[in-house]
Amino acid sequence: MKRLQKQAGFTLIELVVVIVILGILAVTAAPKFLDLSSDANTATLNAIKASMQSASTIVHSKSLIAGNQDTDTATVTVNGASLDIAYGYPRSDDKADWDALLEFDTDDFTSVLVDSDTVIIYPTGMAAPDAITDACIVYYQEVTAAGNTPTIEVVDCS
């Protein structure tokens, strides 16, 4: 009579335990290997871009109501403060106006005036950008003629 041999291998319970342990290790170790800060900064800059677009649209609406959208030197009142506008949109020659208009946290973001028609906002702690081609910024270029709209763009963080 032949004797049955005992089969060697893992039980289903042992396999499930190993998979669970590997899953726990992956969840705790993966963030250390993946750097998502640049994606997070880009997403935040996109939110600031949306705020800039909304703010410029509101200012333009106030300018249309006041009837001063066709001049490059006018003002509108926003949040109780006078704001300089050019062709109905906010001017970019005073970054303090943008800081007040957007009300972003100056501990996290810094604004800087580049040339006389561009405001750049970037994460605090980065080197100050020199141009609109630098990485990890959102910029606003003011309108230069009646009927145009401002340029508001994000340059992704790398």
Helix (H) or strand (E) holding 60: helix 37-66
Residue type, 134: D
- pLDDT of 30-59, one tens digit each? 777 777 788 888 999 999 999 999 999 999
Work out the number of other CB atoms within 10 angstroms of the CB of residue 140.
28
**DSSP code, position 153:** E
pLDDT in tens, 63-110: 999 999 899 889 998 888 888 999 999 998 877 788 778 888 888 888
Our CA dihedral for 34, 120, 130, 148, rounded to 10 degrees, sits at: 120
DSSP letters of 105-118?
Answer: -TTTEEEEEETTTE
Please report, as a single letter, which amino acid is at residue 155.
V
What's residue 51's pLDDT? 93
> How far apart, in Å, are the Cα atoms of 26 and each of 2, 29, 77, 153?
47, 5, 54, 37
